[in-house]
Structure 1
Amino acid sequence: MELGLDGKVCVVTAASKGIGYAIAAELLREGAHVVICSRDRERVAQAAAKLEEETGRPVALAIAADVSQPEAIHRLSAEVENRFDRVHALVLNAGGPPSGPFASFSDEAWEQAFQTNLLSAVRLVRAFLPLMRRAGGARIVAIASSSVKEPIPGLVLSNVMRAGVQALMKTLAVELGPEGILVNTLCPGRIATDRLRELDEARAAREGRSREDVQRETEALIPLRRYGAPAEFARVAAFLLSEANTYVTGQTLLIDGGLVKAL
């Protein structure tokens, strides 16, 4: 299938590793001009070098930007505008908040999760919307979590903020659809990233078990009996971000190997 991403300008946040990195790699392979960002300047530079080595294509821009900070988002959009003047695809991604029970989190922890995981999506869309309108239509994909369908124990901060992102995307799909901007939410289940490893290790520590034992137990609940690979997630994202997607908007799609049983 021809995705029509060749020469398109795509912005992927939190792309120095994990799902964001995998999406950036897939978009590069499809010929897109890919802009990546991450909080750490050295880490995003290393990611860009690794992406170029893996795909054989240059990263258009690699920018240090903490999406929880409004001024960083402003700088990011300004650099992209200066280089390209328009944006065809935007991936809203941010690192997950800490795990733990409800009673363990202060107002400050809730505020940080709000800034990083929900308000960042609001600000990114606001900042890039003029550039997407200039492109004459665009695609937005927000990375949330399977918790929007089935809350995950021990991840109360993520559960709440990801549900908010889903609601925002559904609303934007209605508002922006007439302008040819398609908006969807992609929800990873158990995708084998550093973040998932950390969560498995935290659970293993709480329960006095090995991480491998926790993983085996979780995999037994997944119909495909394994964790997903970031590249598997990225291929779905690339379709939704592409011109091949002409009629899918306002949807929440779980990439979870069948783990979530909700209708």
Structure 2
Amino acid sequence: MDLGIRDRVAMVAAASKGIGYAVAAALAEEGCRVSICARGGQELEAARARLETIGGNGRVFAQVADVSRSGDIDRWHAATVAALGAVDILVTNTGGPPAALFTALTDEQWEAGFQSTLMNVVRLSRLVIPDMQRRHWGRIIHLTSLVAKHPADDLTISTTLRTGLSALTRTQSNQLARSGILVNAVLPGNTLTERARHLAAVRATARGITPDEALDHVAQSVPVGRLADPAEIGAAVAFLASERASYITGVSLLVDGGVAQCPI
């Protein structure tokens, strides 16, 4: 299926690996001109090189940026527009805050989580919306998490802030729909990424089991019986970014293998 977004300019945050990279790859396959950022320059350059081989467009821009820092966000956006043109598709994304129970968290951890998980979304959205409004076309997709619908006890900061991000998604969608801008969120479930392996190792230590056993325990808790491949999340985002999703806005789409069957 042709998704109708060839030559659209897409910004994908935190896209050197994992779900962010899978999203960038899915958009590149559809012929988008893709801009990515990440904190690590070596991994980012490797991701850029791989993306240039996908989709035949070859228009990929990459810049080192920490999305928790407003100055980095401003510079990444300005450089993207200079290199590729005004942004049509924004995919916000960030690594998850540290895993901890509520009583173990400090003010500094809460503040860092707020900046990296929520404020980066506010700042990136604010930068791209004016050009989208002028052209009366835009797609904003927030990558959040299953925990926004199905809280995890040891992901306190993530659960709290990503629930707020779902509310922001609905608010933005209501305010921007008449401007031709569609805003949705994608809530990945348990996905086989570096972060999933890290969390499995933390939980394995606490339970006296191996990391592989911890991952298998998670997989068996999913109705489909496995963890997601990052490419499956990328495909969902690409669809929501496309012309084929032109009547979908304000949705928080669970891509979780059936875990959160009863929304809360």
Where on the TM-score scale, by shorter chain, does this alignment land: which range?
A: over 0.9
* Alignment partner, residue 191 of structure 2: 191
1:37 paired to 2:25: no
* Alignment partner, residue 125 of structure 1: 125
Shift, 1:58, TM fit = 2.2
1:174 paired to 2:174: yes
Contact 2:33–2:57, Cα closer than 8 Å, also in 1: no
Count, aligned residues: 263
* Alignment partner, residue 204 of structure 1: 204
Q: Partner amino acid for 2:182?
A: L
Contact 1:85–1:131, Cα closer than 8 Å, also in 2: no
* Alignment partner, residue 242 of structure 2: 242
Structure 1 range deviating more: 11-20 or 205-214: 205-214
- Structure 1 SS opposite 2:258: coil
Structure 1 range deviating more: 42-51 or 65-74: 42-51
Structure 1 residues 2 and 53: alpha-carbon distance in aligned structure 2, compared to 1, 3 A threshold: closer
Contact 1:25–1:51, Cα closer than 8 Å, also in 2: yes
- Provide TM-score, normalisation by structure 1: 0.96
Q: Over aligned residues, Cα RMSD in angstroms?
A: 1.3
* Alignment partner, residue 152 of structure 1: 152
- Provide TM-score, normalisation by structure 2: 0.96
CA distance in 1, matches of 2:90, 2:165: 14
List structure 1 runs of 4+ shifted beyond 6 angstroms: none
Structure 1 range deviating more: 211-220 or 51-60: 51-60
Q: Partner amino acid for 2:43?
A: R
Q: Partner amino acid for 2:150?
A: E
Shift, 1:43, TM fit = 2.0
* Alignment partner, residue 50 of structure 1: 50
Shift, 1:50, TM fit = 2.2
Shift, 1:82, TM fit = 1.9
Structure 1: give runs of 5+ residues left out of the alignment.
Answer: none
CA distance in 1, matches of 2:44, 2:132: 24
Contact 1:86–1:135, Cα closer than 8 Å, also in 2: no
Percent identity over the alignment is 40
Shift, 1:131, TM fit = 2.5
Contact 1:81–1:131, Cα closer than 8 Å, also in 2: no
* Alignment partner, residue 231 of structure 1: 231
- Structure 1 SS opposite 2:52: helix
Shift, 1:55, TM fit = 5.1
CA offsets 1:67-113 (integer angstroms, 9 cap, x no match): 10011111111112223442111001011111011121110000000
Structure 2: give runs of 5+ residues left out of the alignment.
Answer: none
* Alignment partner, residue 76 of structure 1: 76
- Structure 2 SS opposite 1:10: strand
Q: Partner amino acid for 1:230?
A: P
CA offsets 1:188-231 (integer angstroms, 9 cap, x no match): 10011111111111100111111121122222221110001011
Shift, 1:136, TM fit = 2.4
